[in-house]
Amino acid sequence: MSRGSIRTLMLGDAQAARVVPPSGFTAQLTLFVSGAMAFLAVFALALSLSAGRLADRWAEELARSATLRINAPADQRAAQTAAALKILTQTPGIAHARALTAEQQTALLTPWFGADLDLDDLPVPQLIEVIEADPGYDAAGLRLRLAAEVPGAVLDDHTRWRRPLVEAAQSLRRLGWFAIALIGGATAAMITLAANAALSANAQVIEVLRLIGARDRYIAQAFVRRFTLRALIGATVGVAFGLGGVMALPEASQEGGFLTGLGFQGLSWLLPLLIPLLGALVAFVATWSAAHRTLKELT
Amino acid sequence: MGLGRAAKESISNAVNFLPDRCNYPGSKAQVTNRIHTEYIKAGHVIELENVGYSYGGGELLSDVSVQLIPGSFHFLTGPSGSGKSTLLKLCYGALTPTTGRVRAFEADMRDLDRDQMAMLRRRIGVVHQDCRFLDHLPLADNIALPLTVSGPDASQEGSDLKELMQWVGLSERAHALPPELSGGERQRAALARAVIMSPDVILADEPTGNVDWEMSQRLLQLLVELNRMGKTILIASHDLALIRAAKSQVPVRVLRISDRRLQLAGADL
The pLDDT score that the predictor gives to residue B65 is: 92
Chain B hits for A5, CB-CB cut-off 8 Å, are none
Confidence band, pLDDT 50/70/90 cuts, at residue B119: very high
* pLDDT single digits (tens) A185-241: 999 999 889 888 888 888 888 889 998 999 998 888 888 888 899 999 999 999 999
Q: Which helix (H) or strand (E) holds A154?
A: strand A153-156
CB contact under 8 A, B121 and A205: no
- What is the rounded average pLDDT for all residues in chain B? 81
The whole-angstrom distance between A208's CA and the closest CA on chain B is: 7
The pLDDT score that the predictor gives to residue B252 is: 92
Residues A141, A211: Cα–Cα separation, whole Å: 82
Q: CA torsion sign, A30 to A36 to A37 to A42?
A: positive
| CB of A293 less than 8 A from some CB of B | no
Q: Which of A86, A83, A55, A268 is nearest to A175 (CA)?
A: A55
**Residue among A18, A215, A299 minimizing CB distance to B95:** A299
| CB of A7 less than 8 A from some CB of B | no
| CB of A2 less than 8 A from some CB of B | no
| CB of A203 less than 8 A from some CB of B | no
**Residue among B132, B134, B146 minimizing CB distance to A213:** B146
Residues A6, A27: Cα–Cα separation, whole Å: 22
| CB of A218 less than 8 A from some CB of B | yes
Kindly identify which residue of chain B lies nearest to residue A297, measuring between CA atoms. Answer: B114
Q: Which of B224, B269, B265 is nearest to B66 (CA)?
A: B265
Chain A hits for B96, CB-CB cut-off 8 Å, are 299
Say if strands B232-236 and B201-205 run parallel, antiparallel, or are unpaired. parallel
Mean pLDDT of B139-154: 85
**Residue among A22, A218, A295 minimizing CB distance to B149:** A218
What percentage of chain B reaches a pLDDT higher than 70? 80
Q: What's the per-residue H, E or C state across chain B?
A: CCCHHHHHHHHHHHHHCCCCHHHCCCCHHHHHHHHHHHHHCCCCCEEEEEEEEEECCEEEEEEEEEEECCCCEEEEECCCCCCHHHHHHHHCCCCCCCEEEEEECCEEHHHCCHHHHHHHHCCEEEECCCCCCCCCCCHHHHHCHHHHHCCHHHHHHHHHHHHHHHHCCCHHHCCCCHHHCCHHHHHHHHHHHHHCCCCCEEEEECCCCCCCHHHHHHHHHHHHHHHHCCCEEEEECCCHHHHHHHHCCCCCEEEEEECCEEEECCCCC
Confidence band, pLDDT 50/70/90 cuts, at residue B26: very low
Residues B154, B152: Cα–Cα separation, whole Å: 5
Chain A hits for B114, CB-CB cut-off 8 Å, are 215-216, 295-296
Query: How far is residue B50 from each of residues B56, B67, B240, B261, measured CA to CA in Å?
Result: 20, 11, 27, 10
Three-state SS at A153: strand
Q: Which of B191, B193, B203, B190 is nearest to B88 (CA)?
A: B203
Mean pLDDT of B146-159: 68
The pLDDT score that the predictor gives to residue B62 is: 92
Mean pLDDT of B37-47: 64
Buried/exposed code over B112-142 (b: 16+ C-beta within 10 A; e: otherwise):
eebeebbebbbbbbbbbbebbbbebbbbbbb
Kindly identify which residue of chain A lies nearest to residue B125, measuring between CA atoms. Answer: A212
Residue of A215, A219, A295, A297 to mutate for B, most B C-beta atoms under 10 A: A215
The pLDDT score that the predictor gives to residue A259 is: 57
Kindly identify which residue of chain A lies nearest to residue B122, measuring between CA atoms. Answer: A213
| CB of B177 less than 8 A from some CB of A | no
- CATH superfamily to which B4-256 belongs: P-loop containing nucleotide triphosphate hydrolases (3.40.50.300)
If one compares B22 and A8, the residue with the highest pLDDT of the two is: A8
Residue A16: count of CB within 10 angstroms of its CB: 24
* pLDDT single digits (tens) B209-236: 777 888 888 889 989 999 998 999 999 9
For chain A, the domains span 3-51+173-296, 72-151
Residue B223: count of CB within 10 angstroms of its CB: 25
What is the DSSP secondary structure assignment for residue A67, as one 8-state letter? E
Question: Rounded to the nearest 5°, which phi and psi values hold at B252?
Answer: -125, 140
Three-state SS at A141: helix
Kindly identify which residue of chain B lies nearest to residue A295, measuring between CA atoms. Answer: B114
The whole-angstrom distance between B266's CA and the closest CA on chain A is: 33
CB contact under 8 A, A15 and B155: yes
CB contact under 8 A, B114 and A215: yes
The pLDDT score that the predictor gives to residue A54 is: 81
Contact B24, B30 (CB under 8 A): yes
CB contact under 8 A, A210 and B118: yes
* pLDDT single digits (tens) B182-217: 888 998 899 999 989 889 999 999 888 777 888 888
Instruction: Tell me: pLDDT of B30 over 50.
Output: no
CB contact under 8 A, A214 and B118: yes
Instruction: Tell me: pLDDT of B46 over 90.
Output: yes
Residues B225, B32: Cα–Cα separation, whole Å: 11
CB contact under 8 A, B149 and A18: no
Which residues in chain B (181-200) have CB-CB distances under 8 A to chain A? 193, 197
**Residue among B132, B133, B150 minimizing CB distance to A213:** B150
The pLDDT score that the predictor gives to residue A258 is: 58
Report ipTM (2 d.p.).
0.77
Which residues in chain A (20-49) have CB-CB distances under 8 A to chain B? 21-22
Buried/exposed code over A74-88 (b: 16+ C-beta within 10 A; e: otherwise):
eeeeeebbebbbebb
Radius of gyration of chain B (CA): 18
The pLDDT score that the predictor gives to residue B42 is: 52
The pLDDT score that the predictor gives to residue A15 is: 66
Query: How far is residue B154 from each of residues A117, A271, B227, measured CA to CA in Å?
Result: 94, 44, 23
Q: Which of B73, B219, B197, B41 is nearest to B124 (CA)?
A: B197
Chain A hits for B141, CB-CB cut-off 8 Å, are 18
Q: With a cut of 50, which residues of chain A have pLDDT below it?
A: none
CB contact under 8 A, B92 and A211: yes
Mean pLDDT of B115-130: 91
Chain A hits for B135, CB-CB cut-off 8 Å, are 21
Chain A hits for B154, CB-CB cut-off 8 Å, are none
Three-state SS at A272: helix
The whole-angstrom distance between A188's CA and the closest CA on chain B is: 27
Contact B158, B152 (CB under 8 A): no
CB within 8 A of B238, min separation 6: which ones? Answer: B77, B78, B79, B80, B84, B206
Say if strands B232-236 and B73-77 run parallel, antiparallel, or are unpaired. parallel
**Residue among B94, B114, B119 minimizing CB distance to A211:** B94
CB contact under 8 A, A212 and B121: yes
The pLDDT score that the predictor gives to residue A253 is: 62
Contact B197, B167 (CB under 8 A): no
Please report the number of interchain residue pairs, chain A to chain B, with beta-carbon separation below 8 angstroms: 64
Q: What's the CA dihedral at A278, A280, A282, A283 to 10 degrees?
A: 170
Chain A hits for B189, CB-CB cut-off 8 Å, are none
Residues A250, A47: Cα–Cα separation, whole Å: 14
Confidence band, pLDDT 50/70/90 cuts, at residue B19: very low
The pLDDT score that the predictor gives to residue B87 is: 95
CB contact under 8 A, A212 and B193: yes
Buried/exposed code over B21-55 (b: 16+ C-beta within 10 A; e: otherwise):
eeebeeeeeebbbbbbebbeeeebbbbbbebbbee
Confidence band, pLDDT 50/70/90 cuts, at residue B138: very high
